[in-house]
C-alpha cells in the first residue's frame, strides 16, 4: 500500500517525548498527519509540544515491555484514527560500559526496549497491516547496528539484534504489501548522551581505563554532534512518503563513512577466512559423491 495522498496519514511512533522521536512527532503534526505517540510520560510530551497544534495527537503512556499495554495502545490508535499507515519503532537509550561491567538486570532492561518492545509492537500491528493489505514499518537502529566499539557492547547487541529481526521481517511481509526499513543514524545533537537518556553501570572495573576515558569524552559531547535531529526526522518522513529508501538507510555522513569502513573490514575478514573455511566441508569421497 502506497503512502496515502488523499488523506492525512496515521503514524504510530514510540519513544516520542525526547530527541529524534519528539522531532518526528512535531513535524508530523505540523504536516497535518495523525500521530499516536507512546511515551513513559504524557505530561513530558505535552510540555515538549507546547505551541504545536496537537489536535491530531493521541498520546499514551506505555511500557513497551508490557505486551498487553502495547496491544491496547495499537488497538486504541486504530479505533481513534480508523487505521494505521506507518509504525516507527524509535524508543531507546544509550549505555556505556565494558561487557564485563554490564549487569544481568541492565542487559535485560536494554533488550526489553530495543527488542522485546519492538516485537510487542510488531505482533500488535502486523495483523492490522495484513488485513488492510499494506503498511510501513520503520525501525530506528543505529550505525552501531552494523559495527560496534569498546564500551558499546550492550547497546550494539540490541541494535544488531534489531537489524536481524528487521531483515527477516522485510522478507516475510513483502508479499502482504508491507514495506520495512531500517534507519541507521550516526551521532545526532539530541540528549542521547545526557543522563536522562544514557545508562551507566553501577560498578566499574579498573581493568578498562580506555573505556573510562571514552565515557568521559562522550559525556562531554552533547552539543557538538554532527547530526541534526530535525533533518533526520525529515529523512524518516521521506523514507515513508517516497517509498524509495533501501532496507538499510544510513543517516549522517559519519554513519556513511563508518559503514564503508565496516564493509571493507568485513570483506577482508571473508578473504582471510577462505583457506580455513573450505576445510570444514565433507569431502566428496566421504559423502559418497
**How high is the pLDDT of residue 221?**
74
Of the residues 141, 142, 148, 255, only one is catalytic, namely 141
Catalytic: which of 93, 95, 155, 208?
A: 155
Provide the pLDDT for residue 287. 67
For residue 270, the model assigns a pLDDT of 98
Cα 159 from Cα 285, distance rounded (Å): 43
What's the pLDDT tens digit per position in 72-111? 999 999 999 999 999 999 999 999 999 999 999 999 999 9
Check residue 255 and give its pLDDT: 95
pTM for the whole structure: 0.94
Q: Are strands 178-185 and 248-251 parallel, antiparallel or unpaired?
A: parallel
- pLDDT value at residue 206: 94
Position 205 scores a pLDDT of: 93
Q: What CATH number was assigned to the domain covering residues 10-280?
A: 3.40.50.720
Buried b (16+ CB within 10 A) or exposed e, 201-216: beeeeeebeebeebbe
Give, in order, the Cα–Cα distances in Å from 24 to each of 59, 69, 158.
14, 23, 22
Contact present, 68 and 172 (Cβ < 8 Å): no
Of the candidates 95, 159, 187, 255, the residue annotated as catalytic is: 159
Burial of 230 (0-12, 13-18, 19+ CB in 10 A): middle
Is 255 marked active-site? no
Q: Which pLDDT score is estimated for 289?
A: 65
Taking the domains of the chain in order of start, what are their residue ranges?
Answer: 10-280
Which residue, 97, 95, 206, 209, is CA-closest to 158?
95
Low-confidence ranges of the chain (pLDDT < 70): 1, 191, 193, 223, 287-289
Neighbouring CB atoms inside 10 A of 177's CB total 15
Is residue 141 annotated as part of the catalytic site, yes or no? yes
Active-site residue 47, yes or no? no
Confidence (pLDDT) at 1: 63
Amino acid at each position: 500500500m502506497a503512502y496515502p495522498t488523499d488523506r492525512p496519514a496515521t503514524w504510530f511512533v514510540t519513544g516520542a517525548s525526547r530527541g529524534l522521536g519528539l522531532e518526528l512527532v512535531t513535524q508530523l503534526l505540523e504536516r497535518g498527519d495523525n500521530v499516536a505517540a507512546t511515551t513513559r510520560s504524557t505530561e513530558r510530551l505535552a510540555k515538549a509540544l507546547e505551541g504545536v497544534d496537537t489536535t491530531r495527537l493521541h498520546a499514551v503512556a506505555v511500557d513497551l515491555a508490557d505486551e498487553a499495554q502495547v496491544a491496547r495502545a495499537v488497538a486504541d490508535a486504530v479505533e481513534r484514527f480508523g487505521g494505521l499507515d506507518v509504525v516507527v519503532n524509535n524508543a531507546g537509550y544509550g549505555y556505556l560500559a565494558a561487557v564485563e561491567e554490564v549487569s544481568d538486570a541492565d542487559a535485560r532492561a536494554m533488550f526489553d526496549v530495543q527488542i522485546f518492545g519492538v516485537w510487542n509492537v510488531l505482533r500488535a500491528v502486523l495483523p492490522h497491516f495484513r488485513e488492510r493489505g499494506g503498511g510501513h514499518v520503520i525501525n530506528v537502529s543505529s550505525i552501531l547496528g552494523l559495527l560496534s566499539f569498546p564500551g558499546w557492547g550492550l547497546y550494539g547487541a540490541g541494535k544488531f539484534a534489531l537489524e536481524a529481526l528487521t531483515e527477516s521481517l522485510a522478507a516475510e511481509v513483502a508479499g502482504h504489501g508491507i514495506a520495512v526499513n531500517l534507519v541507521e543514524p550516526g551521532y545526532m545533537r539530541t540528549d542521547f548522551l545526557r543522563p536522562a537518556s544514557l545508562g551507566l553501570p553501577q560498578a566499574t572495573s579498573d581493568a578498562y581505563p580506555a573505556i573510562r576515558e571514552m565515557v568521559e569524552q562522550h559525556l562531554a559531547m552533547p552539543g557538538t554532534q554532527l547530526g541534526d535531529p530535525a533533518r533526520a526526522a525529515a529523512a524518516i518522513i521521506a523514507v515513508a512518503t517516497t517509498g524509495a529508501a533501501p532496507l538499510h538507510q544510513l543517516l549522517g555522513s559519519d554513519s556513511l563513512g563508518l559503514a564503508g569502513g565496516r564493509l571493507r573490514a568485513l570483506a577482508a575478514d571473508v578473504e582471510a577466512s577462505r583457506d580455513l573455511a573450505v576445510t570444514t566441508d565433507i569431502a566428496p569421497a566421504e559423502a559418497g559423491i
